[in-house]
Amino acid sequence: MKAILYTLPVAFILSIACTSSKTMSFTPPAATTPPLPEFDLEGHRGARGLLPENTVPAMLKALELGVTTLEMDAHISQDGQVLLSHDPFINREHELLPSGEEIPQKDAKKYVLYQMPYSQIRQFDAGSKFYSKFPEQRLMKAYKPLLAEVIDSVQAYLQNHGLPQVFYNIETKSSPAGDGKYHPAPEEFVDRLVAVLDAKNIRPYAIIQSFDPRTLQALHRKHPDIKTSLLVENTKGLEKNLDLLGFTPHIYSPYYKLVSPALVEATQGRGMKLVPWTVNSLEEMRRLKQLGVDGLISDYPNLYKALSL
């Protein structure tokens, strides 16, 4: 498929960008502990299959498509800023140097986010390179935004379009092997992330998810009111994964092929929501919904409308 550079209507996005350096906060609908959606429709990295992942335009596109939760990934820059990125480095598969040139193969893992100030990270182009894994993705100049900017943009979009409040499902991208190299230790990671949530007044609508039990444990210990989601890709089973975590999270989020009727019954029997990832076909969405899952995470939130028909 030929890559076509795509430009969204930018008046709204530019207006947000002009105010992103200001301190903004919002007052979500009054609810001390708002319930999770009855059936949660999540946009993976915004709308990864349609627009560059973990960018402001991808998040706004997901809102346009009616998601109830925005799923995203968080990293920490050298200067302690919380930004959106799945990978701990600038990924040459779908990102370009500030000059617009390709990143050489020898430099594939050279540009580590935790070793660069955010001002430098922002200069890389995160949206103009054709990504063969997602050929429908519309190309556009984009950058890795701060979490604070994403929240500002989302909340303003919701208000301007009269849309209901959504949840923010934020993954802490960490592992024991990455401490001090790709990210700070769990306590600092959690502290920096929660500071942004509180500054933006969206704590009640935040879900923190991770494959790394340590960040969830630190969060649960210091901020037990914040919703948690355990991401799972192993076959250890529910009980062993929960024993390792040490507490019952609000959400159990396995790779979708691990979902079975027994897992649905077991998770819901323990008071958890079951929200599998990453489900990218309408057929699989319907199958999982029929099994009784409590939500879906998809790169293609445009499919959700057909799911509800």
- For the cut 90, the answer to whether the pLDDT of residue 12 exceeds it is no
Identify the pLDDT of residue 26: 73
Write the pLDDT tens digit of every residue in 202-246.
Answer: 999 999 999 999 999 999 999 999 999 999 999 999 999 999 999
Look at residues 129, 135, 219, 212 and name the one whose alpha carbon lies nearest to residue 175: 212
> Is the domain covering 38-307 a CATH 3.20.20.190 domain?
yes
Q: What local confidence, expressed as pLDDT, does residue 31 receive?
A: 53
Three-state helix/strand/coil letters over the chain:
CCCCECCCCCHHHHHHHHHCCCCCCCCCCCCCCCCCCCCEEEECCCCCCCCCCCCHHHHHHHHHCCCCEEEEEEEECCCCCEEECCCCECCCCCCECCCCCCCCHHHCCCCEHHHCCHHHHCCCECCCCCCCCCCCCCECCCCCCEHHHHHHHHHHHHHHHCCCCCEEEEEECCCHHHECCCECCHHHHHHHHHHHHHHCCCHHHEEEEECCHHHHHHHHHHCCCCEEEEEECCCCCHHHHHHHHCCCCCEEEEEHHHCCHHHHHHHHHCCCEECCECCCCHHHHHHHHHHCCCEEEECCHHHHHHHCC
Query: What local confidence, expressed as pLDDT, does residue 32 receive?
Result: 72
CA torsion 34-35-37-43 (nearest 10°) is 50
Q: For 125-182, how does the pLDDT look when each residue is reduced to its tens digit (9 = 90+)?
A: 999 999 999 999 999 999 999 999 999 999 999 999 999 999 999 999 999 999 999 9
pLDDT digits (tens, 9 = 90+) for 286-307: 999 999 999 999 999 999 999 9
- Percent of the chain topping pLDDT 70: 90
CA 253 to chain centre: 13
Classify residue 191 by burial, with Cβ atoms within 10 Å: 0-12, 13-18, 19+: middle
Q: How far apart are CA 75 and CA 184, in angstroms?
A: 9
Query: What number is the average pLDDT over the span 92-100?
Result: 98
pLDDT digits (tens, 9 = 90+) for 15-31: 444 444 455 767 666 55
Task: Identify the band that residue 308 occupies on the pLDDT scale cut at 50, 70 and 90.
Answer: confident
> How far is 255 from 276, CA to CA, in rounded Å?
6
What is the per-residue pLDDT across 25-61, written as a single tens digit (0 to 9) for each?
Answer: 676 665 578 999 999 999 999 999 999 999 999 999 9
Domain boundaries, the chain: 38-307
**Residue 7: pLDDT over 60:** no
